[in-house]
Structure 1
Amino acid sequence: MAEHHVVVVGAGFGGLETVRGLAGAPVRITIIDQRNHHLFQPLLYQVATAILATSEIAWPVRYLFRDRPEVKTLLATVQGVDTAKREVLLSDGHSVPYDTLVIATGARHAYFGHDEWERFAPGLKTLEDATTIRRRMLTAFELAENEMDPARRQALLTFVIIGGGPTGVELAGAIAELAHVTLAKDFRSIDPHLTRVVLIEAGPRILAGFTDDLSDYARKALERLGVEVRTGEPVTECAAGHVVFGKETLATGTILWAAGVQASPAAQWLGAEADRAGRVQVEPDLTVRGHPEIFVIGDTAAVLAPDGKPVPGIAPAAKQQGGHVAATLKARLSGKAAPGAFRYKHSGSLATIGKRAAVVDFGWIKLRGWLAWWIWGLAHIFFLIGTRNRIAVALSWLWIYMSGHRSARLITQGKDREKIGS
């Protein structure tokens, strides 16, 4: 009898945790991803803001499973699923048969019906996104150094972040510190201290997933860094050189998007019911209705926590779901009772504001400030893959903390001169 074939689409947190959990099971596994690396997304903003190098938060998938001969990796793009034939359809015309399918394809940024804004306001989900943002941001300073018109120069030195969730808050704080500390002495014609960083949130407060007091602390911490926080003012236009929010038009050379996400097209592949964000409405055990052989997890799935609220789209949740899928499959293959419904255990919410402040909410205890920043850092280092990366990131943070110097401020790839504020 042929070994049970498990196909995992997506090498993110959920997909990798599924594969890890199946170690020792009588299965062969195929991982399909359109990129050859696993990405530690929680630190992606630090690549975008020149704190870390790309290699410090990403690892080749083949390397991670080099000692697992039952695991095969395919670099390919999925374009559909034939549920009747149990085949994953690839863009090159090939197909991959499966006995069990796990879809963990994540999400991309969403522009709420204004996809044309993406050209002017890139989001942050991939390494390519991060290096594009870093290039545009650093290029803006270089262009400002050569700009003779004062109004145009100030626009180039104005950075707008749309969305006041953790990503937006972390980007705003990191950009403010980059301008006001790291680059403070690097230029001769411009004064980086005059850089404006504006964080725009349509809702009444930033970090809406945190308690009011932690949200208020985060706002004050950002303002101490020089960030202008604007709440209750939705953006109505993003274009070359400006953004419109409320009744104000702000000239800017760099707009960054951190306001919303849209799930991958997995629901379309499966013909499954989806929510407004495109996430598949899964059964309590994370399977697709009518297809117990198909699991959908992570940002691709709409899952409810025991309290009836949606499970957040964060790494710990995806990892828990991946572990649940692996346990369910092992039980099925061994003839034992499956674990049943997935139950999410919230381990806490964390967000950092610059290099000396953060907010942490574990439910039973809430922290802010310097101590919270250390806890945030230790938690992220713990979840990094490999000792080398943990040491490299820790040393980078220590060096930046002590000196303020960021060594990853390199302008590479592409030509953004004509795109910035034009």
Structure 2
Amino acid sequence: MAEGTHDDGAADVLILGASFAGIELVHQLRRSARGRGLKITVVDRQAEHPYIPLVQERLVGRLDPANSVLPTRRSVEQKAAARYVVGDVVELDPDRKEVVLASGERLRGRFIVVALGSVLAPPAGIEGAERFVDYKFEGEFASAAQRLAALLGPGGEVSRRVSSGDGPYREGEASGPAGERPTIVVAGGGISGVELAGDLARLARVRPAGWRAPKVVLIHSGPRLLPHLCERAGRKAEQHLQAQGVELRLNTRLTRLAAGTAAVRPAGPGGDAVDVPCDMAFWSGGVRPAPVLARLPLPRTAAGWLAVGPTLQCFATPKPTRPDIFAIGDAARVQSAAGEWPTMQRAIECLWQAWLTADNLTRLAREAPEYPHGVPPLRPHTLREDFPHGVSIGDESLVVYGRLVVDFAAVNIWFRRFLMRQYIRRYS
């Protein structure tokens, strides 16, 4: 236990969130001699975590779900010899450095690291947004996989243009013939949307016995796919999706979901909304702050993310007043005198931030809790503007780095699976 930690019920490091950033922070702390002496408690709403970069392949049965999930709780408790608490964070007191869970349990730590991530959620302006099928997290994934199998499997029915009803796929909604080809709509033309549309379209060639191949429609509000990558990557993605039968609707916004239909309209001014068939819809148009972040009394950006300084501390004042609270991963946005840093918000950056935070925590842990000799200087995060991207598109796959686009599916797909196996092996 760190010097000066007197509360036997408190942890030295209390980590909120155990996805990429949180689990890597535990790993890095246990790699150093001083970090191995720290008492760690991890809180997460899940006991296991799917490998999110390939979650769309799990959804369509291309990957075995059992072999693409990290047993996070077991890893933390057995390999890292730390405490793991399954629960939802509802309150945080930054002065007491205390967290309250939905169960009522209270946890304290000398250091708190918030790594609560993001949610894949549509904007509130879409009518019927509750009909989108959530699939990112483990509980959501199980439900999404069941719904997809029910829609495409033997005896699955296709709902058609019924506007009554509150929720998705309710009993009593009118249905068309079971032999009809279901239509699945993917909203969002970034990497997640392109990959999901590609794997759904691949079902036309390879699918579980008895399944029907869906018609896949990708709706994107911009003029080209993969808007955050180079134009050539967007053109390649468009070509590969169209070759696999995906209907692309660019410069188009989805405005409403109802039973059996989706209303779309041109993204620019003017233009009327039209209904298109839609038996299932997935939102892949971007992430939003996890709702819990709005309840935490920590500095936030205008968009609702946690605002941190270059050292990833939440209270980044020139003279540190609360130096022991950090935020990393998708939840954090780095601020400096020059404004918000253009960090990538990717898994690799979560790992980099975890490495830095582990080093800074061990520096702080050398000092007495009240820092009678002052808070030691900490290392700042290094801004990296780019890193190679892997984009799988059904049977095709791209590697994109700057303006370089490598279109070599066999190697790219194998390498992404290799990274998944290495990730699970690293922590198991």
Q: TM (normalized to structure 2)?
A: 0.80
* 1:227 to 1:79, Cα distance in 2 relative to 1, 3 A: same
Q: Which moved more, 1:163-172 or 1:286-295?
A: 286-295
Aligned positions of 1:69-108 closer than 5 A: 70-108=81-119
The aligned length equals 382
Q: CA deviation at 1:146?
A: 6.3
> Residues of 1 paired with 2:159 and 2:125: CA distance?
34
* Counterpart for residue 293 of structure 1: 324
Question: Cα distance, 1:98 vs. partner?
Answer: 1.2
Are 1:104 and 1:299, in contact at CA under 8 Å, matched by a contact in 2? Answer: yes
Does 2:416 correspond to 1:377? yes
SS of structure 2 residue aligned to 1:360:
strand
User: In the superposition, relative to structure 1, how do residues 225 and 144 fare at CA in structure 2: closer, same or farther (>3 Å)?
Assistant: farther
1:311 aligns with 2:337: no
Query: Separation in 1 of the partners of 2:97 and 2:159?
Result: 62
Tell me whether 1:234 sits opposite 2:258 in the alignment. Answer: no
SS at match of 2:53: helix
Partner of residue 418, structure 1: none
Opposite residue 301 of structure 1, the aligned amino acid is: A
Aligned with 1:131 (options 116, 128, 142): 142
Residue 314 (structure 1) shift: 1.6
Residues 73-106 of structure 1: CA deviation (Å, up to 9, x unaligned):
1112110101122101111222111110001011
Q: 1:203 deviation in Å?
A: 1.2
What are the Cα deviations for residues 269-325 of structure 1, in whole angstroms up to 9, with x where unaligned? 432332354211111111112532111111111136999652122211111111111
Counterparts in 2 of 1:17-166, with a 5 A limit? 17-23=24-30, 24=33, 25=35, 26-68=37-79, 70-114=81-125, 117-142=128-153, 157-166=182-191
Shift of 1:205: 1.2
- Give, in whole Å, the separation in 2 of the partners of 1:127 and 1:309: 31
CA distance in 1, matches of 2:149, 2:308: 43
TM-superposition CA deviations, 1:83-137 (whole Å, max 9, x none): 1221011112221111100010111122212476343112332122222222222
Q: Aligned partners of 1:312, 1:155: CA distance in 2, in Å?
A: 42
In the alignment, structure 1 segments of 5+ residues that lack a partner are 390-422
* Paired AA for residue 258 in structure 1: S
Higher helix share: 1
- Consecutive unaligned residues of structure 2, counting only runs of 5 or more, are 6-10, 161-174, 266-272, 316-320, 368-374
**Counterparts in 2 of 1:376 and 1:198: CA distance versus 1, 3 Å:** farther
Task: Give the Å deviation of 1:141.
Answer: 2.3
Q: TM-score, normalised by structure 1?
A: 0.81
Q: How does 1:219-298 map to 2 (within 5 A)?
A: 219-246=238-265, 247-289=273-315, 291-298=322-329
Match of 1:199 in 2: 218
Change (3 A) 1:376 1:328: same
Written as runs of structure 1 = structure 2, the 5 A alignment for 1:329-348 is 329-334=361-366, 338-345=377-384, 346-348=386-388
RMSD over aligned CA atoms reads 3.0
Q: Is the 8 A contact 2:16 2:116 kept in 1?
A: yes
Match of 1:7 in 2: 14
281 and 168 in structure 1: CA distance in 2 versus 1, 3 angstrom threshold: same
Deviation at 1:2, TM superposition (A): 5.0
Cα shift at 1:155:
6.8
Question: Distance in 2 between the 1:323 and 1:282 partners?
Answer: 16
Q: Counterpart in 1 of 2:194?
A: 169
SS of equivalent residue, structure 1 residue 332:
helix
Q: CA deviation at 1:68?
A: 4.9
Q: 2:167: which partner in 1?
A: none
Paired residue for 2:391? Answer: 351
Deviation track 1:190-233 (CA, whole Å, cap 9, x = no partner) reads xx46x411000111111112100011001100111111111110
Q: Distance in 1 between matches of 2:416 and 2:335?
A: 29
Q: Is the 8 A contact 2:73 2:84 kept in 1?
A: yes
Counterpart secondary structure, 1:245: strand
Counterpart amino acid of residue 235 in structure 1: L
Q: Please point out which of 191, 199, 207 is paired with 1:182.
A: 207
Distance in 1 (CA, whole Å) between partners of 2:414 and 2:70 is 24
Equivalent-residue separation in structure 2 for 1:372 and 1:347 (angstroms): 18
TM-superposition CA deviations, 1:336-391 (whole Å, max 9, x none): 95442111434321210113x112123374312425634652553354312999xx
Give yes or no for contact 1:144–1:156 (8 Å, CA) kept in 2: no
